[in-house]
Amino acid sequence: MHLYSWIMIHFVKQVGLLGILCFLCACQSGRQQEAGSIVPTDGLKTIAVQVEEGMFEHLGDYLYADSYVCLDTVPLLGDIEKVEIKDDRIYVLDAFNKIVCYDMQGKALFVLDAQGGGPGEYASVTDFTVNAGRQESLVYDRDKKVLLFYHPHTGQFLRSEPFSKPVPGALAAWQDTYFYDSRSHDSYPDDTSLHYSLLVSDDGTTVTRRYFPHVEAESAWRFTVTAHPFSYNDSVLYYCKNYDYIVYALSADSVWGAFDIRLPNPLPASKVEDKADERDLVKSAWSMGIEQVFVCDGLLYFTFTKDGFWQSALYDLSRGKQIYCGRRMSDKEGKSVPLFRMIDGVYRQRFWGILSPDALAYEQEHRPAGLPDGLKNYHPETGNHVIAFYKVRKAGQ
């Protein structure tokens, strides 16, 4: 899917028709902001990258394929919206609003497919997250304005709570705590306690801490450049605020700056203030939308958009040096990483990424000799996605 089409689909799904109408009609005015918690940035590590031309063909010097988990063919998944790997379980939300839980061998443990109007049912899944410490999975339904809690090991419905505000676009759970990314406050203009980008809740229903007061120009413009603001790592949860270039680290009771990422030709604030046409921005040479920030064994990986394409960056933190930054990374020479598209997370000291049936079908047609033994009999017509795990290659390996 073209990058612009994907962003616009995500925009409509997150905002909804009513939200778009409200946005077009709303008149934004300056409002006094309530003081939020202080976010220290004195320990920032500067990451400067430059986009390179051509394909990076030495990925095998840094990563190698550790294992592949083929997800059960039943139920058949639609396009994947989100994946979380927690407590040795893989949770997948697909485009049909169902959440499937798998074990680490790919066996389906349960399916949460609860669309409907009754107790424990949702109209749609805006987002979900798994709180392993509290032993609950949380589903947010923007249409019903409700939070629904399920048991993360069985999918059994636990309870529901009304949640008319805030209206988060993304959820995360870390250290028994819930985090909400809230980019606009047009649904509750007079409740200044919620005019913040990052809201924190101990129980999921009551906001107890807040960070980053809304910048009026950003809040009034509903163009989302950072679709995935939360990034799970082994020991930290990272957060990327829309239009920001600082990556923040989150804990249950604090937030602090971790990385200052210096992108080439970054989107200027004037473009946000002037509400530049998002179609032109997506195709422009401006760099924006940092997300998918993962660190494993000294390697930093993140993505952003530029020139109408996703750009991926791989950076050596120990040497303070860019390894690569560009449109595509592969392993042409050594075939140590025969299947690689993007990195989507870190779990137990391994990067992991999602391989779609279409991607696997392409590999079978064009590079069948490079397929791992466990995937040579894979059938793209009936198969589900595959989760690939990659380890960082040490010196001498």
- What is the residue-level pLDDT of the chain in tens, covering all 397 positions? 445 444 444 444 444 433 433 333 333 333 333 346 889 999 899 999 999 999 999 999 999 999 999 999 999 999 999 999 999 999 999 999 999 999 999 999 999 999 999 999 999 999 999 999 999 999 999 999 999 999 999 999 999 999 999 999 999 999 999 999 999 999 999 999 999 999 999 999 999 999 999 999 999 998 999 999 999 999 999 999 999 999 999 999 999 999 999 999 999 999 999 999 999 999 999 999 999 999 999 999 999 999 999 999 999 999 999 999 999 999 887 678 989 999 999 999 999 999 999 999 999 998 888 888 889 889 999 999 999 999 999 865 6
**39 falls within a domain:** no
Reference 55, options 304, 307, 325, 322; nearest CA is 325
101 contacts 86 by C-beta, under 8 angstroms = no
**38 falls within a domain:** no
**81 falls within a domain:** yes
* Distance separating alpha carbons of residues 69 and 354, to the nearest angstrom: 10
Partner residues linked to 259 by β-bridges: 45, 247
Instruction: Return the pLDDT at 34.
Output: 37
* Distance separating alpha carbons of residues 167 and 183, to the nearest angstrom: 9
What residues contact 89, with CB distance under 8 A and at least 6 apart?
Answer: 101, 102, 103, 104, 109, 130, 152, 153
Strands 237-240 and 345-346: unpaired
249 contacts 236 by C-beta, under 8 angstroms = yes
* Distance separating alpha carbons of residues 82 and 91, to the nearest angstrom: 8
Instruction: Name residue 206's amino acid.
Output: T
**345 falls within a domain:** yes
The CATH number given to whatever domain includes residue 234 is 2.130.10
146 contacts 160 by C-beta, under 8 angstroms = yes
Question: Tokens 């934004």 correspond to what residue?
Answer: 28
The DSSP call for residue 122 is B
How many beta carbons lie within 10 A of that of residue 156, not counting itself?
13
* Distance separating alpha carbons of residues 201 and 180, to the nearest angstrom: 8
> What's the structural domain count of the chain?
1
**219 falls within a domain:** yes
Instruction: Return the pLDDT at 284.
Output: 96
Find the domain containing 114 and state its range. Answer: 3-27+48-392
Phi then psi for residue 318, to 5 deg, are -70, -35
Task: Provide the whole-model pTM.
Answer: 0.90
**173 falls within a domain:** yes
Q: Which pair of tokens denotes residue 379?
A: 């059938």
* Distance separating alpha carbons of residues 317 and 297, to the nearest angstrom: 9
The DSSP call for residue 381 is T
How many Cα atoms are found within 13 Å in the side-chain-facing hemisphere of 47?
Answer: 28
Reference 87, options 98, 99, 75, 102; nearest CA is 102
**35 falls within a domain:** no
Instruction: Return the pLDDT at 240.
Output: 98
